[in-house]
A and B are shown apart, each in its own frame.
Chain A
Amino acid sequence: MANVPEGLFYSKDHEWLRVEGETGTVGITDHAQNSLGDVVYVELPKTGETFAAHDTFGSVESVKAVSELFLPVAGEITEVNESLSDEPEKVNTDPYGDGWMLRVKLSNRGEVDSLLSAAEYEDYIGSLE
């Protein structure tokens, strides 16, 4: 059973978002890392780049699959998790902690409301099986 922590927001593309003030932290969910298998490479944007909500911001690769990453909300990238270039496996071992991918300065706080809550996301992944 996939771990879906309370207090985060979720997208149907299996990204999570933690909001602290004007800043959001983004990663992929436990369900996502589990379906991908061993993550071997994470391609992330540069800080300063801006994206609209649902834009592709990078990709995550396992040995035999590659998945695009979608930003759940619009904003400017303020920080990326550089340590993933050396230890991409953190996405597997700690998807909601050390495996975070980037921080974004939210351009529209209201977009957060359209995302799923933990309970809703749990129902959603349940419906996929």
Chain B
Amino acid sequence: MTITKATTHVTQNEALVFERSQTGRRGYRLPALDVDETPIDELLPAELRRDDDLEGVPELSEPDVVRHFTRISTWNYNIDLGLYPLGSCTMKYNSRLNEKVARIPGFAGLHPLAPAEDAQGALQVMYELQQHLAEITGLPGISLQPAAGAHGELTGVMMIRAALDARDGTTSDEAKRRKVMLIPDSAHGTNPASAHLSGFTVKTIRSTSEGLTDLEHLRELCAGGDVAGLMLTNPNTCGIFERNIKEICSVIHEAGGLVYMDGANMNALVGVARPGDMGVDVIHLNLHKTFSTPHGGGGPGSGPCCCTTELEPFLPVPSVVKAEDGSYKFDSDRPQSIGRVKAFYGNFGMHLRALAYILTHGNDGLREATEAAVLNARYIAEGLADTFDRPFDSPPMHECLFTDKRQTRKGVHTLDIAKRLIDYGFHPMTIYFPLIVQGAMLIEPTESVGRAELQQFVDAMKEIAREAQEDAQTVLDAPHTTRVGRLDEAAAARKPVLRWRPAEKAAGA
């Protein structure tokens, strides 16, 4: 059966705001100017003023604006609609209560440069969040400044650079040689990019056939004497806990390096195990993953950095400390700090939400969430074990990994399976990541889904596998139920159109 698209459907055909614009429409009203007006030329000479009258900027009424954004919003899948099993993204429920907390006027309306004595509540929020994150990670030094995971990574590896420079100096031959950051081949692309920005040379560590870091290869690489550190995700991006983590850390430490852990997968560990107890020196957390702050269509995130006491002097400035009188203040007195990584103090609105998450769950609830997240991944792993190829046998933690190996015989690939899953009402899993696994499908259900829906997902995947055998074309042409079909990304990249232009100008562009 083919589904015919209605061509006149107002919601399905919502245009761009620029195309909806009608001269003279307004969606706002300002109070009348209540001061004596200064002639405009006295305010600013003409040559400093705009001369284009903001041509092209849209003019819409308020209902038009609301309809526009409401209509286009309906083209999005979202967590509140159902399972969003993107591996390594931890798409868990985003509590409405946390949204309310972040909007309390005493927080939302507080200027970052307000004197600290008049911002004690905000400082207290940051301080308490720091304390809780230190307890959860087992790493006492915290900076809440990084704005996202990759930003936290950058902060962490820069701290490693600063700590090594402080220890070894920067002039000796040995210090100059110590530039190698080891990164497993399964790592997220932000790891090598962050290492490169921090002045490191990246060397790749192989994974074993079990999907773990190859210890032999690690030792070999460490023998060179040039290793500054290791960036490791744990559980790794194959969803497997690096059971040799302590040994890995000591190999690096003995080689004179430091260990950075990418905390993207902390949702598998909260309340169960702590990076600080594994020998990790510095870690970033993704508050927008593990601590449920909303992903917002791609941010804002928040990527606090947690480290050992030894690395604490190198954290970004300022940090929040508690004075003897019980008041809170910013501490910028850290001469060895890597400096500032962001203006002001980080994504404070996310700090509020994360603290609210920790406090509404309580210590028991945090561990229960971890258990449920792992249990749910196990359920899917078990449910799909006979249908899809599993590249590694190790038991999965909070996410499980499959491939398209069995389906490719009929010409059906991971991308097709993902697209067909949309027709069954689910957001697809993470696909083609980690890169070391051909046709990878990484599934992370999180704790925010019940057994019935997990089973529906398993059933949908099995049904797609059956279709791949019996009616491959249906899978290859998917999705069939969305507003647009598969988009021609190659054509889009060859002749990129990255902004709207008025029709007459667009023709010549």
Residue A89 at the B interface, CB < 8 A? yes
A95 / chain B contacts, CB cutoff of 8 Å? none
B493 / chain A contacts, CB cutoff of 8 Å? 40-41, 61, 63
Kindly report which residue of chain B lies nearest to residue A37, judged by CB atoms.
Answer: B490
Kindly report which residue of chain A lies nearest to residue B490, judged by CB atoms.
Answer: A38
**Using a CB-CB cutoff of 8 Å, which residues 89-117 of chain A contact chain B?**
89
16 chain-A/chain-B pairs, Cβ below 8 angstroms: A37-B490, A38-B490, A40-B490, A40-B493, A40-B494, A41-B493, A41-B494, A61-B493, A62-B490, A63-B489, A63-B490, A63-B493, A64-B432, A88-B494, A89-B490, A89-B494
**Using a CB-CB cutoff of 8 Å, which residues 462-509 of chain B contact chain A?**
489-490, 493-494
- A3 CB to closest chain B CB (Å) equals 21
| Main SS at interface, chain A | loop
- Count of A residues near B, CB < 8 Å? 10
CA distance A22 to B61 in the complex (A): 68
A38 / chain B contacts, CB cutoff of 8 Å? 490
**Using a CB-CB cutoff of 8 Å, which residues 35-61 of chain A contact chain B?**
37-38, 40-41, 61
- B407 CB to closest chain A CB (Å) equals 19
B432 / chain A contacts, CB cutoff of 8 Å? 64
CA distance A61 to B494 in the complex (A): 10
Chain B interface: which size bin?
Answer: under 10
A37 / chain B contacts, CB cutoff of 8 Å? 490
- B168 CB to closest chain A CB (Å) equals 33
**Using a CB-CB cutoff of 8 Å, which residues 295-322 of chain B contact chain A?**
none
- A19 CB to closest chain B CB (Å) equals 31
In addition to A64-B432, A89-B494, 7 A-B residue pairs with Cβ atoms within 8 Å of each other are A40-B490, A61-B493, A62-B490, A63-B489, A63-B490, A63-B493, A88-B494
The 3 closest A-B pairs by CB, nearest first: A38-B490, A40-B493, A63-B489
Interface string of B432-454 (1 = CB under 8 A from A): 10000000000000000000000
- B55 CB to closest chain A CB (Å) equals 30
A41 / chain B contacts, CB cutoff of 8 Å? 493-494
Kindly report which residue of chain A lies nearest to residue B432, judged by CB atoms.
Answer: A64
Kindly report which residue of chain A lies nearest to residue B488, judged by CB atoms.
Answer: A38
- A89 CB to closest chain B CB (Å) equals 7
CA distance A40 to B488 in the complex (A): 11
Interface string of B111-152 (1 = CB under 8 A from A): 000000000000000000000000000000000000000000
Kindly report which residue of chain B lies nearest to residue A61, judged by CB atoms.
Answer: B493
CA distance A63 to B492 in the complex (A): 9
CA distance A80 to B198 in the complex (A): 36
- B205 CB to closest chain A CB (Å) equals 22
- A14 CB to closest chain B CB (Å) equals 19
Kindly report which residue of chain A lies nearest to residue B494, judged by CB atoms.
Answer: A40
Interface string of A64-83 (1 = CB under 8 A from B): 10000000000000000000
- A92 CB to closest chain B CB (Å) equals 9
B490 / chain A contacts, CB cutoff of 8 Å? 37-38, 40, 62-63, 89
- B428 CB to closest chain A CB (Å) equals 15
- B434 CB to closest chain A CB (Å) equals 15
- A124 CB to closest chain B CB (Å) equals 21
- B493 CB to closest chain A CB (Å) equals 4
Of the listed residues B432, B489, B490, the one surrounded by the most CB atoms of chain A closer than 10 A to its CB is: B490
A40 / chain B contacts, CB cutoff of 8 Å? 490, 493-494
- B486 CB to closest chain A CB (Å) equals 12
CA distance A54 to B197 in the complex (A): 27
A64 / chain B contacts, CB cutoff of 8 Å? 432
Kindly report which residue of chain B lies nearest to residue A40, judged by CB atoms.
Answer: B493
- B209 CB to closest chain A CB (Å) equals 21
CA distance A89 to B490 in the complex (A): 9
CA distance A63 to B490 in the complex (A): 6
- A20 CB to closest chain B CB (Å) equals 30
A62 / chain B contacts, CB cutoff of 8 Å? 490
